[in-house]
Chains A and B, each alone.
Chain A
Amino acid sequence: MSRIGVFVCHCGENIGRTVDCGKVALESGKLQNVAISIDYKYMCSSPGQELIKNSIREHGLDGVVVAACSPRMHEKTFRGACAQAALNPYLCEMANIREHCSWVHDDKEAATAKAMDIVRSLVAKTVRNEKLFPIKIPVTKRALVIGGGVGGIQTALDIANSGHEVILIDKSPSIGGRMAALSETFPTLDCSQCILTPKMVDVAQHSKIKLVTYAELESVEGFVGNFKVKIRQKARYVDPIKCTGCGLCSQKCPVKNIASEFDEGLGMRRAIYTPFPQAIPNRPVIDKNNCTKLKTGKCGVCQKICQVGAINYEDKDQIVEYEVGAIVVATGLRALETREIYPEYGQGRHKDIITAMQFERLASASGPTLGVIKRPSDGKVPEKIVFIQCAGSRDSNAGYPYCSKICCMYTAKHAMLYKHKVHDGKAFVFYMDIRACGKNYEEFVRRGIEEDETSYLRGRVAKIYEENGQLVVNGIDTLSGEKMSIKADMVVLATAMSAQLESVHLAQLLGISYDQNNFYSELHPKLNPVDTATAGIFLAGSCAGPRDIPDTVASAGAVAAKVGGLFSKELLEREPIVACTKSFSNMNTCSGCFSCLQACPYGAIEQEIIVDKKQQQKKMVAKVNQGLCQGCGSCVSICRAGCLDLKGFSDEQMYESIIGMGGS
């Protein structure tokens, strides 16, 4: 015989309008196992909670049912109140008579009867509730940051500055990411390198940060606080410790004509190279696909010229294992090539139709033209230039229905930079809407239009083609209704920002979810914008969707705060609502079919070997790793042998609540 208290909330008028709360309380009081039953206007308020606490103490309750709103709304509140009155919080249940009853019904009598059914059901369930205790797990206070762009750099620095170790990995030979390749940044026109490179140096010199470049994530095991990660260190063929970074090898390498990834194909690099002069670490790597020595065995110039003997053609990929407590994904995005979706824009057919990233390199002082705007085909300074926004973005037909967010701003910046460098030049911008939401953004765009004389034409360009050696851009200005045909020397496409090509692969490695555009999904778009649904894995920067530098840096700081919070305790506490194996008189009924292993989205099912007295393997059974389990219950419903159960929602509890509901 239990002693359960039923507390019926009016929720102001939300419930009271359609449900006769007094009657529900009166009827509940007559139920078996119910010791006390009270209704109150606002149960979640301070006096309401006091009412519950006092009743627990006075009547010695061993279960509480709060008939009010949804568990998502206030279960935590009421369980907290119970805990304060020394009642195990998991003996408190919510009977949802608001969302499931009063809000969806008009008929007061019927709604009151339904509210009674719900209360009866929950009372029956609560009778079977067991005391549960939070799961405590140890934490490895070290974080892994994947991606060394500005987001990853900032996250690593912020975590390291709060006193925790960080491992920062980047797939390219240097950190810096996209931002290192930019010329100047909106809306202040600071030089991108000037504000990023000092941070890169900080990363390299920080005692708490271990920098691993030219490396990729190989595998991840474990759960929040206890991840085991394997990282593939790609063969550099250059010993970074012996190498002094003198650069002689890159100067003498005979393979000269490889399109530089950093210069977006506008400049050339050698087979042994550092991506850019300010690279961190400033140590070259050999591109094994283009090195003559590695391909044919002949050459070896770099080895001969290297005075410290740092070149090692025998270098191999290495797998390094680390234990970390948190993983931060800061893998950024990539700019789409419009030739993939818009053949009518002629990218790839004509050299002077370039992407915005290529324009960044042209405008950058460290770029292939040293900051002089020259068109790629013949090196002429373009007198007329056309910028095209939304080259791919906001086109659901092409598969990119979203706004890339940053193009309006960087295009305004490009037109401005162009005008600053080519005073007699004329810049046109085709746009759909100008989305300049941000501090000083609108003012920046207006400055481009009013002071730097950029002509903005509202409309999408239909076609770009070549006529008598000149590019012709055919579009429309919908504001005037006039068709526009502009003869241009160069065209710059603000191509859509899309997810990294490997983003899905990485998501599967990490066990995090991604959206229809392959950007990673936040736990909640507003309230948990940097968490993922997998505990201990966080998102920084534009891997979660297009973001500009300020947003990326802000999200990096937010992640660091979250990681700091995670690392602030010696032991992590988790909700005990997890799956567990049932045991019937100490016998495991698991047949070892492992359907549950297939069903579990979190990789929480492990295989356990059961041995007999002679230490011989009897059978293989499923075991739930309670650190990984998120309590979704998929395994419970798929288990054919019925040997899995979800704590707090056991089969017994569910049966009782169903039977209780019909027991009027």
Chain B
Amino acid sequence: MSKCMESECNSYVVKCYQCGKCSAGCQISPFMDYLPHQVVRFVQLGDIYVDKILQSKSIWYCAGCQTCFSRCPQQVNLPHLMDLLCERSSKLKKIHPEARKILAFHKSFLNGVNRFGRSFELGLVGEFKLRTFNLFQDLLLAPAMIFKGKICFLPAKIKNLALVKVLFKKS
């Protein structure tokens, strides 16, 4: 068992007996470099093996749909584990090159939530484009989205914004 991960996920990682039901039912698995059950196995095996996972695409590609968790016979909380691994991967700067965009999206989204207490689409699009230097991608979709009211020009705030700020500080 990986020492660095132990405190947060030991309770369920040790339970995994490698049946592979998670990987068999995962919708994203065709795009992953390590299948979900292999991710758990490497965490079980210890630190030297966890490194591979931290540099993998899989942890970032996981959509967090919870299908695996709800089907798991041993109640292994794989989506939670994937989150933990993502966090660790970004902290140690081991992010897979292909996953950088995903992290940029995560950050842009969370910044919006931090600022307004809820998602602000235009801000999200703007920040994401700045972070990825992909300024013109999907630009042609914008008129239709604006026309249908999918994108507002001004952000909406929630009432108790202070509470959200406290949450972000805590994390």
**A residues neighboring B (CB under 8 Å):** 446, 449-450, 453, 455, 458, 477, 479-480, 482
Contacts of B18 in A (CB 8 A): 458, 479
CB distance from A473 to the nearest CB of B (A): 15
Contacts of B15 in A (CB 8 A): 446, 450
Q: Which of B1, B14, B17, B49 contacts A480 (CB 8 A)?
A: B49
- CB proximity to A under 8 Å, residues B1-28: 1, 14-15, 17-18
Contacts of A477 in B (CB 8 A): 41, 45
Contacts of A446 in B (CB 8 A): 15, 17
- CB proximity to A under 8 Å, residues B122-166: none
CB distance from A458 to the nearest CB of B (A): 8
| 7 sampled A-B residue pairs with Cβ under 8 A | A446-B17, A455-B44, A455-B45, A479-B38, A480-B38, A482-B45, A482-B49
B14 close to A453 (CB less than 8 A): yes
For the complex, give the distance between the alpha carbons of A446 and B73 in Å. 13
Assign chain B's interface to a size class.
10 to 19
**B42 in contact (CB, < 8 A):** yes
CB distance from A292 to the nearest CB of B (A): 56
Contacts of A450 in B (CB 8 A): 14-15
For the complex, give the distance between the alpha carbons of A458 and B1 in Å. 15
**B residues neighboring A (CB under 8 Å):** 1, 14-15, 17-18, 38, 41-42, 44-45, 49
Given contacts A477-B41, A477-B45, A482-B45, 9 further A-B contacts (CB under 8 A): A446-B15, A450-B14, A455-B1, A455-B44, A458-B18, A479-B18, A479-B41, A480-B41, A482-B49
For the complex, give the distance between the alpha carbons of A268 and B41 in Å. 44
B1 close to A453 (CB less than 8 A): yes
Identify the 6 closest CB pairs spanning chains A and B, nearest first. Answer: A480-B41, A450-B14, A479-B41, A479-B18, A450-B15, A480-B42
Contacts of B1 in A (CB 8 A): 453, 455
For the complex, give the distance between the alpha carbons of A453 and B15 in Å. 10
CB distance from B155 to the nearest CB of A (A): 46
Contacts of B49 in A (CB 8 A): 480, 482
If over half of B's interface residues share one DSSP class (helix, strand or loop), that class is named, otherwise mixed; here it is: helix
Contacts of B44 in A (CB 8 A): 455
Residue of B nearest to A457 (CB): B45
Contacts of B38 in A (CB 8 A): 479-480
CB distance from A483 to the nearest CB of B (A): 11
Residue of A nearest to B44 (CB): A455
Contacts of A455 in B (CB 8 A): 1, 44-45
Contacts of A449 in B (CB 8 A): 14
Contacts of A479 in B (CB 8 A): 18, 38, 41
Max chain B C-beta neighbours (<10 A), residue from A458, A480, A482:
A480
CB distance from B124 to the nearest CB of A (A): 38
Residue of A nearest to B46 (CB): A455
Residue of B nearest to A481 (CB): B38
For the complex, give the distance between the alpha carbons of A453 and B41 in Å. 14
Residue of B nearest to A434 (CB): B17
Residue of A nearest to B13 (CB): A450
For the complex, give the distance between the alpha carbons of A458 and B18 in Å. 10
For the complex, give the distance between the alpha carbons of A482 and B41 in Å. 10
For the complex, give the distance between the alpha carbons of A477 and B18 in Å. 12
For the complex, give the distance between the alpha carbons of A477 and B45 in Å. 9
For the complex, give the distance between the alpha carbons of A453 and B1 in Å. 8
Residue of B nearest to A442 (CB): B17
For the complex, give the distance between the alpha carbons of A226 and B160 in Å. 96
Residue of B nearest to A480 (CB): B41
For the complex, give the distance between the alpha carbons of A195 and B18 in Å. 37
Contacts of A482 in B (CB 8 A): 45, 49
For the complex, give the distance between the alpha carbons of A453 and B14 in Å. 8
Residue of A nearest to B74 (CB): A446
Residue of B nearest to A458 (CB): B18
CB distance from A415 to the nearest CB of B (A): 14
CB distance from A494 to the nearest CB of B (A): 20
CB distance from B86 to the nearest CB of A (A): 20
For the complex, give the distance between the alpha carbons of A477 and B44 in Å. 12
CB distance from B96 to the nearest CB of A (A): 19
For the complex, give the distance between the alpha carbons of A66 and B113 in Å. 88
For the complex, give the distance between the alpha carbons of A482 and B53 in Å. 13
Contacts of B17 in A (CB 8 A): 446
For the complex, give the distance between the alpha carbons of A296 and B18 in Å. 64
For the complex, give the distance between the alpha carbons of A446 and B15 in Å. 8
For the complex, give the distance between the alpha carbons of A600 and B158 in Å. 97
Contacts of B14 in A (CB 8 A): 449-450, 453
CB distance from B25 to the nearest CB of A (A): 18
Max chain B C-beta neighbours (<10 A), residue from A455, A479, A482:
A479
For the complex, give the distance between the alpha carbons of A449 and B1 in Å. 11
CB distance from B99 to the nearest CB of A (A): 21
For the complex, give the distance between the alpha carbons of A455 and B43 in Å. 12
CB distance from A547 to the nearest CB of B (A): 26
For the complex, give the distance between the alpha carbons of A657 and B163 in Å. 100
Contacts of A453 in B (CB 8 A): 1, 14
CB distance from B128 to the nearest CB of A (A): 35
For the complex, give the distance between the alpha carbons of A450 and B10 in Å. 9
CB distance from B10 to the nearest CB of A (A): 9
CB distance from A634 to the nearest CB of B (A): 53
For the complex, give the distance between the alpha carbons of A479 and B38 in Å. 7
For the complex, give the distance between the alpha carbons of A236 and B166 in Å. 85
CB distance from A36 to the nearest CB of B (A): 64
Max chain A C-beta neighbours (<10 A), residue from B38, B45, B49:
B45
CB distance from B33 to the nearest CB of A (A): 13
For the complex, give the distance between the alpha carbons of A480 and B42 in Å. 7
For the complex, give the distance between the alpha carbons of A449 and B18 in Å. 13
For the complex, give the distance between the alpha carbons of A133 and B17 in Å. 62
CB distance from B55 to the nearest CB of A (A): 15
CB distance from B72 to the nearest CB of A (A): 14
CB distance from B49 to the nearest CB of A (A): 6
Residue of B nearest to A484 (CB): B45
For the complex, give the distance between the alpha carbons of A450 and B42 in Å. 16
Contacts of B45 in A (CB 8 A): 455, 477, 480, 482
CB distance from B88 to the nearest CB of A (A): 19
Contacts of B42 in A (CB 8 A): 480
